[in-house]
Chain A
Amino acid sequence: MDNLLLNVHNVSKSFPGVKALADVGLDVRHNEVLALVGENGAGKSTLMKLLSGIHAPDSGSFELDGRPIQVQSPKQAQELGISIIHQEFNLMPDLTVAQNIYIGREPRSGNFLLNDRRLNARAAELFARIRIDLDPKSKVGDLTVAKQQMVEIAKALSHDSKVLIMDEPTAALNEAEVAALHEIIRNFKSESTGVIYISHRMDEINEIADRVTVLRDGGYVDTVDAGSTPIRDVISMMVGRRLSTEQRPDPAPAGTDVVLAADGVSTRDMLSGVSFELRAGEILGFAGLMGAGRTEVARAIVGADRITAGSIEVHGRQQKIPNPAAAASLGIGYLSEDRKHLGLLLDRNVKENIALSSLGRFSGGGFMKGKAMAAKAQELVGTLRIKTPSVNQPARNLSGGNQQKVVIAKWLLKDCDILIFDEPTRGIDVGAKEEIYTLLNELASQGKSIIMISSELPEVLRLSHRIVVMCEGRVAGSLSNDEADQENIMEMATRFGADDVVPAGAEPAGGTQ
């Protein structure tokens, strides 16, 4: 028992409508790096927030070095020796490196006067001790992402932490930076300290972790030895076998025309050489982990982000698409994952929301033709089976599923035949998901072409005729539905990483049909 640094017992946490964690336990030993893995939504982030005192658990307990602890605030977590580096940085960009690290603990002369000389000296001492190369006086906002990451780490380590928890620390780093980070972690772990390392990159886990704890759907799955367990086994623990009786789509219509083709599309921040083809009447799924660049592909296609290389063909003609309005006039509609902010005017009614993108056709001489608008909206409410008392109901009062249908109606009215759905069932309950699935299938069989971006693998497998798997801004591979399963998608989605070698068959898609 005395070998346990941190012990988490049967912790549960619910948020309104969601059970985020159910009876999860894990332990961290001294001088070890414990990797914590799981799919999107497995409960890793929730567990972190409990450990850092941002949320309180509904039940369960924590022990640090054998003593029970209660973490009530981030400050208290730090005082106990638990430091967390979140995925989104908690830095003040306008302050210097040293000012950021010692915020709230500034060396002072007297009560109110700051002593910046001592502040900078203390930071320099810290950097020397943990072997990080940073200038205490540079402004954080001027640093690269990797350097900002280092500032976060230095800040965490300045607290004399016992447990260092890192959430996806390498998501934005290149290989040299990842190696440097791993070096810092190895320097940090000791007989009195340990690390929880959350990552999606399987190859990294072999590299840095001693043991791996797997979470799935808010529950604990298993803890295994990192060195001796094959990556494939870890992946199958992550995805589980929960859907053995999966439904699969009907085969796609054969030999239809290519309606949309991307060739080597790159953007400044994210994408590099993304190629794929979308055929008429087809649902093309985009799978990948968070941050893999799936949404960015959609944004690049509709012109929301600028393309720096490559080209896009619509119906066989090369097109420059400068903005989403141009995409819409080519018949490409993008349904954002952030429906409530970017898809709907919540306080306006169903009728107005449906007509919003096509107002031109409902106006004459500058006046709105209310009756025609209502009639058309009524018709779409019927075809899409939108459950609403009337077309005059504010969109806010509809359920998530029906709101999504209103957004779909808006794009159908605009005569879009290429629809890009980004997380079409996010925030929609199970029954309504089925309805959205049925609707997507119907749209495809009517000849609409659909790109569906989804983080839920069962959803991707259930609907997509073909699946493009993305990883780190690139296409890691593409699969037809009958050759795809959760394991091989996950394997592709975690393919690139610190490792230099790309496994065979990882040529960018395009050749794969």
Chain B
Amino acid sequence: MSTVQAAKSESRTHTGDTAGRTLSGRLRSSLQQFLAFASLIALVIFFSIASGKFMTLSNISGILLATSVIGILALGTTFVIISGGIDLSIGTGMTLCSVMTGVFLTYLGLPLIVGVIGGILTGAVMGLVNGTLIAALKIPPFIATLAMMMIAEGLALVISGTSPIYFGSTPGFTNLALGSVIPGLSIPNAVLIIFIAAVLAGVTMSKTIIGRYTFSIGSNEDATALSGVNVKKWKVLIYTFAGAFTGLAGVVMASRLSSAQPGLGMGYELEAIAAVIIGGTSLQGGKGSIIGTVIGALIMSVLTNGLRIMSIPQEWQNVAVGAVILLAVYLDMLRRKETS
């Protein structure tokens, strides 16, 4: 008798315990988001005090402009990472999209809008290929996109003949990123573009079927498949959707530089992934948010910009960003350990 009673009361306390943990778990998970936002604010305050040059309109607009390319890449790759995958091809893929935009506009002389859409579609096609390799041929995402990273790098060089493509013949193209459609405010369009892209990504993530399946597949792929969801199809769609963001980043990049630079791109993928991780998205999949990624990307560019304003050499800026990544991931692991 007594053993049974002991076991009973034990299981009861256990249940109560879990319920308690549930509540604090929920608090903690919103805390994480708050923590990322608070770190961003703290950084901004710190640099404003440390240097008078930081909190000026032109510097802020510079920070936002610097965030645009990495930020757009990070938006797309947030989907891939939440679904439990990874995409290493977005850096050089972006360059390939820049080059293709150059081909459409300069070599073929197509209208501006066609060139822009062509650039974005190039990214989507790359995502489609990635997704097919991963979902249909079951090649691990790391390997498939590593290969695609090298293929895209090579193709960008081949297509451009290893030299930059300049957009001299399409003067409107540079205005796409650097012009300003908002009169009176000197905020470049690139900032507007990333803002719109972030809203689009955020709505897609939380309000549409593709977002729901992104979380579901990342949370438990087998269970999702057993529930009757066509996981293969949705994985291909997720990579394709993310690829369109790579294309957009390529267009913005080319517009900002007034040229498609085939040698650039390598390394951008890691910065984008870093922004996603700092924003609280888990590399194991299932957890993350678009707003987190936006904050993560801002933290990275504020840090780089602030350190530069304080005349801290480039090498140390890298060290600082690395340290932030470690800190963010460690905090995330602590949180995970306590909630599970």
Interface residues of A (CB under 8 A from B): 73-75, 78, 89-95, 99, 103-106, 108, 112-114, 138-139, 141-144, 146, 155, 174-175, 272-273, 472, 474, 496, 500-502, 506, 508
Contacts and interface: CB of A to CB of B under 8 A. Distances in A.
A496 B219 contact: no
Nearest to B82: A94
B169 interface: no
Given A94-B287, A104-B227, A502-B3, A144 B208 contact: no
B209 A106 contact: yes
B162 interface: no
Given A90-B227, A104-B228, A112-B208, A142 B7 contact: no
Given A95-B216, A103-B227, A474 B7 contact: yes
Contacts of A90: 220, 222-223, 226-227
Contacts of A113: 207-209
B337 interface: no
Contact of B207 (A114, A474, A506): A114
B26 A142 contact: yes
A143 B26 CA distance: 11
B210 A112 contact: yes
Given A174-B11, A500-B4, A91 B220 contact: yes
Contacts of B308: none
Bin chain B's interface residue count. 35 or more
Contacts of B218: 94
B212 A114 contact: yes
B18 interface: yes
Given A73-B228, A94-B286, 4 more contacts: A106-B209, A112-B210, A142-B26, A500-B4
Contacts of A273: 3, 6
Interface in B1-34: 1, 3-4, 6-8, 10-12, 15, 18-19, 22, 25-26
B1 A502 contact: yes
Residue among B4, B228, B229 with the most chain A CB within 10 A? B228
Nearest to B16: A144
Contact of A75 (B7, B10, B228, B339): B228
A263 to B, nearest CB: 15
Contact of A496 (B4, B15, B286): B4
A105 B213 CA distance: 11
Nearest to A508: B3
Given A106-B209, A114-B207, A93 B222 contact: no
A142 B25 contact: yes
B106 interface: no
Given A103-B227, A273-B3, A502-B3, A174 B15 contact: yes
B282 to A, nearest CB: 9
B175 interface: no
Contacts of B219: 92-95
B10 A272 contact: yes
A144 B18 contact: yes
B286 A99 contact: no
A314 B226 CA distance: 48
Nearest to A79: B228
Contacts of B8: 174-175
B209 A108 contact: yes
Contacts of B317: none
B15 A146 contact: yes
Interface in B153-171: none
A95 B229 contact: no
Nearest to A273: B3
A144 B15 contact: yes
Q: Is the interface of B mostly helix, strand, loop or mixed?
A: helix
A378 B252 CA distance: 67
A23 B219 CA distance: 39
A144 B15 CA distance: 7
A269 to B, nearest CB: 9
A92 B8 CA distance: 29
**Which 9 pairs show the lowest CB-CB distances between chains A and B?**
A75-B228, A92-B219, A90-B223, A94-B286, A94-B219, A174-B11, A142-B22, A104-B229, A104-B228
Contacts of B7: 272, 472, 474, 496
A472 B8 CA distance: 12
A92 B286 CA distance: 8
Contact of A93 (B211, B229, B286): B286
Residue among B7, B212, B227 with the most chain A CB within 10 A? B227
B215 interface: yes
Contacts of A99: 212, 216
A112 to B, nearest CB: 5
Contacts of B12: 174
Residue among A78, A93, A108 with the most chain B CB within 10 A? A93
A142 B22 CA distance: 5
B216 A92 contact: yes
B180 interface: no
Interface string B33-54: 0000000000000000000000
Contacts of A139: 26
A74 B228 contact: yes
A506 to B, nearest CB: 8
A347 B188 CA distance: 58
Nearest to B217: A92
Contacts of B6: 272-273
B182 to A, nearest CB: 29
Contacts of A103: 212, 216, 224, 227, 229
B3 A106 contact: no
A94 B210 CA distance: 15
Nearest to A91: B223
A360 to B, nearest CB: 33
Contacts of B220: 90-93
B18 to A, nearest CB: 5
Contacts of A104: 224, 227-229
Nearest to B218: A94
28 contacts: A73-B228, A89-B223, A90-B226, A91-B220, A92-B219, A93-B219, A94-B287, A95-B215, A95-B219, A99-B212, A99-B216, A103-B212, A103-B216, A103-B227, A104-B228, A105-B228, A112-B209, A113-B208, A114-B208, A143-B22, A144-B15, A272-B10, A273-B3, A472-B7, A496-B7, A500-B4, A501-B1, A508-B3
A430 B1 CA distance: 42
Nearest to B220: A92
Nearest to B23: A142
A68 to B, nearest CB: 23
A278 B21 CA distance: 39
Nearest to B230: A104
A473 to B, nearest CB: 8
Nearest to A86: B226
Contacts of B10: 272
Contacts of A506: 3
A73 B6 CA distance: 44
A75 B207 CA distance: 25
Interface string B272-305: 0000000000000011000000000000000000
Contacts of A501: 1, 4
Residue among B3, B208, B226, B286 with the most chain A CB within 10 A? B226
